[in-house]
Amino acid sequence: MYSEKVMDHFTNPRNVGEIPDADGVGQVGNPTCGDIMKIYLKIKDDRIEDIKFKTFGCGAAIATSSMVTEMARGKTLDEALQLSNKMVAEALDGLPPQKMHCSNLAADALHAAIEDYRGKQKSA
């Protein structure tokens, strides 16, 4: 049902945790499946210097959260905004059709964290 990459990111998730003084935080949830993802960003020179996540959800939700943090680390904010749910799923060698909504959440949480950061910059 799941690819080796999905299983690897589920059993050995990367970048788990919180960044207490995060520059941007994004949280999304899907009440239908119960998955909730929170992504924390540390930004330096318009680039993602550090990224962590906390996810409550199924194995696919944890795997996509882990993968999106790996994909976004080191990218500029504009580059990170280009990451899509489809790209996350492809990086994991695919997800079962009934789990595709989980990959949507990972990209959405990343985008929400970037929007949070940019909103704070405008009001500062």
pLDDT tens per residue across span 56-100: 988 999 999 999 999 999 999 999 999 998 999 999 999 988 888
Spell out the domain ranges in the chain.
4-117
User: Given 16, 25, 33, 91, which residue is catalytic?
Assistant: 33
Grouping H, G, I as helix, E, B as strand and the rest as coil, residue 9 is helix
33 among known catalytic residues: yes
Contact (Cβ atoms closer than 8 angstroms) between residue 28 and residue 37: yes
Assign 102 a pLDDT band (cuts: 50, 70, 90).
low
Contact (Cβ atoms closer than 8 angstroms) between residue 124 and residue 81: no
Q: Which CATH code of 3.40.50.2300, 3.90.1010.10, 3.30.70.890, 3.40.50.1820 fits the domain covering 4-117?
A: 3.90.1010.10
Distance CA 40, CA 38 (A): 7
User: Given 77, 102, 105, 112, which residue is catalytic?
Assistant: 102
Task: Give the phi and the psi of residue 25 in degrees, each rounded to 5.
Answer: -135, 130
pLDDT tens per residue across span 62-72: 999 999 999 99
